[in-house]
Amino acid sequence: MSKIMVTRSSMPPKEEYMAEISSMWENHWLTNMGDKHKQLQESLLSRLEVDNIELLTNGHMALELVLQAMDLSGEVITTPYTFISTTHSIVRNNLKPVFCDIDPDDYTIDAEKIEKLITPRTSAILPVHVYGNICNIGAIKAIADKYGLKVIYDAAHAFDEKVDGIGVGNFGDASCFSFHATKVFNTIEGGAVSYKDEEIGNKLYQLKNFGIEDAETITGIGANAKMNEFCAAMGICNLRHLDGEKLKRKNAFDRYTERLDGIKGIRLNKLKPNVEYNYAYFPIIVDPKEFGMDRNQIQKKLADRDIFSRKYFYPISSACDCYKDTYDVNETPIAYEMSQKVLTLPLYADLDLDTVDLICDIITGDT
């Protein structure tokens, strides 16, 4: 058996992608918001059912530049239970992350703990949808409205999801998506921001393009975060196959659930009936006292068979070397505990059910 990685990129048929990029050998337009960029942008507006969207070179720049576009200052309340990009995007904007603990049931920011962290310096809340679990958007909106705060969602795990029939990109002042190669939908590298205020879109456009307003006018200091045409073309192709890829992911997800649900010492992600999921991840929370092994031992057992899982998220942001002298992990004990127990199992569209069964057999000791 070849190595089974924790994820594998979805790709369209080679012939389809070659056909999609063939026009570039005629027009030689490879970047700077060409036809492919515009086509993908329009397709995503329709697919995600949002009013506005801006494409960027990756999901991190989506976060970093939308924070800059909102001209925030002071403190941003967020979660330490996330990929480090979320925290870095705040710090790189000269803002201070204030870490709020998570809900133990869905691993998203605990909305009931946000209000006590608000100070006169608080300017925004940056919650993270985790493993496809959607934050308590109603409670977060109520708090933000009460205190006049911006809400920017890190929606890297929630592409194409819906809550009560509403696309996830419609919540908050903005939502940021990652189209990295490991995601449910990828553009090789890429990202996007959906947003409400068109002025934010104007600022984002300038920030991703050196602050250029027109051919002879540069009104701001910007970065270079434009999505190129090859990446956009990959997105156009992958979007055509997205429904089928999600269904295949769901089949693997359901088999994992069938095999591991009810195993003493293993807790599975709880899905909510009002959310349309994308089946991006399959995390398990391992209680070593009840299961008899900790997650590190399970990870090693799988790795010994060339099956590679991931401790995701570990470490939490506040425990990373670059932040651990500034923050105390004991201030977010649930996030810290989950980071010590979580293991995400391999999940991707082409993962066959026999392999899922093998992984489950190794975990449960049946092989």
Buried b (16+ CB within 10 A) or exposed e, 318-350: bbeeebeeebebeebeebbbbbbbbbbbbbbbe
In the prediction, which pLDDT does 65 show?
Answer: 98
Q: Topology of 14-240 in CATH?
A: Aspartate Aminotransferase; domain 2 (3.40.640)
Helix axes 229-240, 14-21, angle to 10 degrees: 130
- Do 14-240 and 242-364 agree at the fold level? no
Instruction: For residue range 20-35, list pLDDT tens digits in order.
Output: 999 999 999 999 999 9
Residue 367 has pLDDT above 80, yes or no: no
CB 137 within 8 A of CB 163: yes
What is the pTM assigned to this prediction? 0.97
pLDDT at position 366, please? 76
pLDDT single digits (tens) 294-340: 999 999 999 999 999 999 999 999 999 999 999 999 999 999 999 99
- Taking only the tens place, the pLDDT of each residue in 238-259 is 999 999 999 999 999 999 999 9
pLDDT band at 285 (very low <50, low <70, confident <90, very high): very high
pLDDT band at residue 215, thresholds of 50, 70 and 90? confident
Could you tell me the pLDDT band of residue 181, with boundaries at 50, 70 and 90? very high
Distance CA 316, CA 16 (A): 40
Distance between CA 65 and CA 176 in Å, rounded?
A: 10
Q: What is the mean pLDDT of residues 210-234?
A: 95
Per DSSP bridges, beta strands 266-268 and 282-286 are: antiparallel
- Tens digits of per-residue pLDDT, 87-103? 999 999 999 999 999 99
Please say whether the beta carbons of 316 and 339 come within 8 A.
yes
Per DSSP, what are the bridge partners of residue 267?
285
Asked if pLDDT for residue 145 goes beyond 70, the answer is yes
The token pair at 209 is 């393009």
Query: 277, 36, 53, 276: which is closest to 174 by C-alpha?
Result: 53
What's the average model confidence in pLDDT over 225-234?
98
- pLDDT one-digit tens code per residue, 13-67: 999 999 999 999 999 999 999 999 999 999 999 999 999 999 999 999 999 999 9
- Tokens (6 digits) for 273: 């009936």
Domain ranges, ordered by start, for the chain: 14-240, 242-364
The pair of three-digit structure tokens given for residue 102, joined into one six-digit string: 């998570």
The mean pLDDT value for 148-164 works out to: 98
- CB atoms inside a 10 Å sphere around CB 217: 8
What mean pLDDT is reported for the chain? Answer: 97
- Is residue 119 scored above 70 in pLDDT? yes
Q: Report the pLDDT value the prediction gives residue 196, as an integer from 0 to 100.
A: 95
Strands (DSSP E) contained in 79-190 are 96-99, 122-126, 150-154, 162-163, 166-167, 174-178
Q: Classify 289 as helix, strand or coil.
A: helix
pLDDT confidence tier of residue 1, bands split at 50, 70 and 90: low
CATH number for the domain running over 242-364: 3.90.1150.10
- Given a contact cutoff of 8 angstroms between Cβ atoms, the answer to whether 135 and 125 are in contact is no
Please give the average per-residue pLDDT across 179-207, as a whole number: 97
Confidence of residue 130 (pLDDT cuts 50, 70, 90): very high
> What average pLDDT does range 210-225 have in this prediction?
93
Average pLDDT of the segment spanning 106-132: 98
Cis peptide before 12 (omega within 30 of 0): no
Asked if 161 contacts 132 with a C-beta cutoff of 8 angstroms, the reply is yes
